[in-house]
Structure 1
Amino acid sequence: MSLIRRLRGGYRPLVGAIHRPSHLLAYRPAQWSTDAKEHPTVITTGYVTGSPCWLDLGSPDTEASAAFYGAVFGWTFRPAGPDAGGYGVLHKDGRTVGAIGPLTEEGASGAWTVYFRTADADATARATELGGGRVRAGAFDVMEAGRTACLTDPFGAEFAVWQPAALQGLEAVTEEGTLTWAELFSPDPATAAAFYGDLFGWRREEVTLLGMAYSILSTAEGDQGAAAFGGIAPLQVEGQKPRWLPYFEVADPDAVARDTEENGGSVLVPPVDAPGVGRLGALADPFGAPFAVVHSPAAGD
């Protein structure tokens, strides 16, 4: 279940820092109410323009990656068929929670890619270039599922867009073992926020946490608190790569961290308690793809 559903007394972002977990804090803007009925979820499957709607992993060994995430999250992997180029879909309890495919770009390393919904993948690709970003793969059809484009923002963070047809997006989010938050690390958060705002119409709320600026991102539609799905944080150590980091909801971050190490992954930041947010940590799979996990507090905690 979601953070906002369970939090009382004020909206609190899930703020993660791979290198500085001391920045995992909560805040309470007075103008936002978070009554459980008003703000039922963080990421939802009611996809609108700009929503995170798909997630896939590029891996040098899809079978090994599928085995790792199966051991850690209980996901099952189903190849998409002989025409899919090794791409396959991840399921939990019979519902789609992501996908895995082979690396296709020269010099690429294992990484998760977050896809944002768009009404026109071609137009979003053009707008990316006009905004100073780069088109890594121009818009193309994915059989009858939809249309996609692989993009990079002006600072090097990779993302993709999804124009749905038969496939709307992930079937399960903000539940145990599924995507619950998406966080961008950028060397210039304000400019990055403006770039993505131009692409998707995202709204943002600027806050300060221990002297660190943090932007809470919401889609253009609906109540701003209810439409929140992620955030932007500054890079925090020299050499850190701009990237989108997915967060997965889990029942026990410590157990997931142990399972990660036992199955060949690594713990980047051991799980820590963040008041008002929950317990969370940053991990990496055996091929170096980083991801984060969080256990949100129950209502009344």
Structure 2
Amino acid sequence: MTDPLEALRAPIEPVDPDPAFAARLRERVRRALLEPKEAGMTTDTRDVVSPVEARLHTLTPYLCVDDGQRALEWYSRAFGARLRTEPTVMEDGRVGHAELAIGDSVLMLADEWPELGLVGPRRRGGPSQSIYLTVPDVDTVVDRAVELGAELSRPVADHPYGRNGVIHDPFGHRWMITTPPPSARPTLTLRHGDIGYMALWVPDVQRAADFYGPVLGWRFTAGSAPQGRQVEGPSGQRVGLWGDQDHATLFPCFMVDDVHTAVRRVRQAGGEAEEPTRAPYGLVSNCTDDQGMPFALLQTTEEMTAPAQPAPGSVAYLTFEVPDSERFRAFFGAVLGWTFSPGRVPGGWNVLNGGTEVRPMSGLHGGHDRSRVVPMYAVDDIEAAIARVRASGGECSAPEPQHYGISSMCTDNQGSRFYLGQLR
């Protein structure tokens, strides 16, 4: 089974070390060499992430906890934290220093050192600060933290600055956990060649709505025809369902600066393109490429944006599965100006638009019997998402760790393939 993000992998190339990491490493070595022999030092063997995935910012929280080993495990389970470097563990078992990556930020922590006047909130009688954590789905994170032993201080509720809840973790620290309102979340402007709209083609639109609603948290409004549904949700993407289709695929609509020019390019490249028609959102042409893949072209005068980071329930990645990857590259290079870089598997390619990833991020894989587009949906908790798929009549493979997170290959209740991805 092809990994949907395998096409993005590139050969490992040496890079200069991160200066901040190198400085901390030198200091750790210096402390270890100067440390009295009886103090000793061991290192943890748990999985460590690359230091480039999260960086130190101007201000970094450094927590004192009363059980460092348990804290490393708890923050990993509750907030998805990952070890950034191997923690320093002293001979008496106390954590001398540890760094956890949470999103693009770093959380440092160490065990209590009463002999140095360093103790945690519970020994001092309560926290003296709050830690503000931004997450895609505050309800899921707060519920999981409480299940793992956190104390709910303020239930999750909507506020002008976003949806917010407050907990005290098992070590006494106060966390304000927030999902910003959609208008406050970072967005990217869609460009010529990006995907502005996606429609999931399905045999029965109502069965699809009954499946994807509980699985991904999608809500629906009526589409332009009885077999259509528009998806509403927190993703900020333009997604729909389109029924009465015998070919299960995702139908992409590509943004173009000039639809008439793009139509000519489609025809010149060996594809088919209808004459553009006017819709409320711009000029649209329905097309087919030279290997039978359906798609559309959209020219709009309005600026269209997409979320900078995939939110739970959104399309995080697309895999273009095609019979001939060379023909695909030639066609869409001519029509959209796409370029491609090799992946690490035969027939696998990264899809680039203007030298950066196409939006949403996509890959190409050749050697298939028929062209189809297979989506990966972002989820916050892949185990819970897999349970929802199975409860709704679908099937999922066992989750597997990947370099980008954890993934599972699934089929819905009508046999359409998709992936779930819990992304780092």
State TM-score, norm by structure 2: 0.53
Cα distance in structure 1, aligned partners of 2:238 and 2:204: 19
Do the aligned partners of 1:196 and 1:202 also contact (CA within 8 Å) in 2?
Answer: yes
1:92 and 2:233 are equivalent in the alignment:
yes
Cα distance in structure 2, aligned partners of 1:132 and 1:165: 28
1:272 and 2:409 are equivalent in the alignment:
no
2:193 aligns to what SS in structure 1? Answer: coil
Tell me the residue number matched to 1:243. 372
Higher relative contact order (CA 8 A, sep 6+): 1
1:179 and 2:162 are equivalent in the alignment:
no
Tell me the residue number matched to 2:243. 102
Q: Shift of the alpha carbon at 1:202?
A: 1.1
Q: Shift of the alpha carbon at 1:77?
A: 0.3
Tell me the residue number matched to 1:123. 261
Q: Deviations over 1:83-102 (max 9, x none)?
A: x2133321113845411233
Cα distance in structure 1, aligned partners of 2:337 and 2:405: 29
Tell me the residue number matched to 1:217. 351
Q: Shift of the alpha carbon at 1:279?
A: 1.2
1:194 and 2:330 are equivalent in the alignment:
yes
Cα distance in structure 1, aligned partners of 2:358 and 2:318: 15
Q: 2:418 aligns with which of 277, 280, 291?
A: 291
Tell me the residue number matched to 2:206. 63
Q: Which has the higher helix share?
A: 2
Tell me the residue number matched to 2:100. none
Q: Please, which runs of 5 or more residues in structure 2 have no aligned partner?
A: 17-51, 56-103, 105-186
Tell me the residue number matched to 1:51. 194
Tell me the residue number matched to 1:141. 278
1:93 aligns to what SS in structure 2? Answer: coil
Cα distance in structure 2, aligned partners of 1:296 and 1:78: 28
Cα distance in structure 2, aligned partners of 1:114 and 1:31: 37
Cα distance in structure 2, aligned partners of 1:264 and 1:226: 32
Q: Please, which runs of 5 or more residues in structure 1 have no aligned partner?
A: 1-18
Q: Deviations over 1:76-124 (max 9, x none)?
A: 10114xxx21333211138454112333xxx733432122211233332
Q: Shift of the alpha carbon at 1:241?
A: 2.5
Tell me the residue number matched to 2:156. none
Cα distance in structure 2, aligned partners of 1:254 and 1:283: 13
Tell me the residue number matched to 2:389. 260
Do the aligned partners of 2:202 and 2:208 also contact (CA within 8 Å) in 1?
Answer: yes
Q: How many residues align?
A: 258
Q: Shift of the alpha carbon at 1:296?
A: 1.4
1:208 aligns to what SS in structure 2? Answer: coil
Q: Shift of the alpha carbon at 1:192?
A: 0.9
The letter for the 2-side match of 1:182 is L
Q: Shift of the alpha carbon at 1:198?
A: 0.7
The letter for the 2-side match of 1:217 is V
Cα distance in structure 2, aligned partners of 1:94 and 1:217: 22
State TM-score, norm by structure 1: 0.72
Change in Cα spacing, 1:219 to 1:296, as seen in structure 2 (3 Å) is: same
Change in Cα spacing, 1:271 to 1:115, as seen in structure 2 (3 Å) is: farther
Cα distance in structure 1, aligned partners of 2:243 and 2:291: 24
Q: Shift of the alpha carbon at 1:32?
A: 9.5
Q: 2:252 aligns with which of 114, 117, 128?
A: 114
Q: Shift of the alpha carbon at 1:169?
A: 6.2
Do the aligned partners of 2:193 and 2:337 also contact (CA within 8 Å) in 1?
Answer: yes
The letter for the 1-side match of 2:232 is H
2:356 aligns to what SS in structure 1? Answer: coil
Tell me the residue number matched to 1:27. 10
The letter for the 1-side match of 2:394 is G
Aligned CA-pair RMSD: 3.3
Tell me the residue number matched to 1:151. 287
Q: Deviations over 1:12-47 (max 9, x none)?
A: xxxxxxx3459948434549998779xx9xxx6410
Do the aligned partners of 1:112 and 1:290 also contact (CA within 8 Å) in 2?
Answer: no
Change in Cα spacing, 1:123 to 1:285, as seen in structure 2 (3 Å) is: farther
Do the aligned partners of 2:194 and 2:360 also contact (CA within 8 Å) in 1?
Answer: no
Q: Deviations over 1:139-169 (max 9, x none)?
A: 3222x21222222222222222222245836
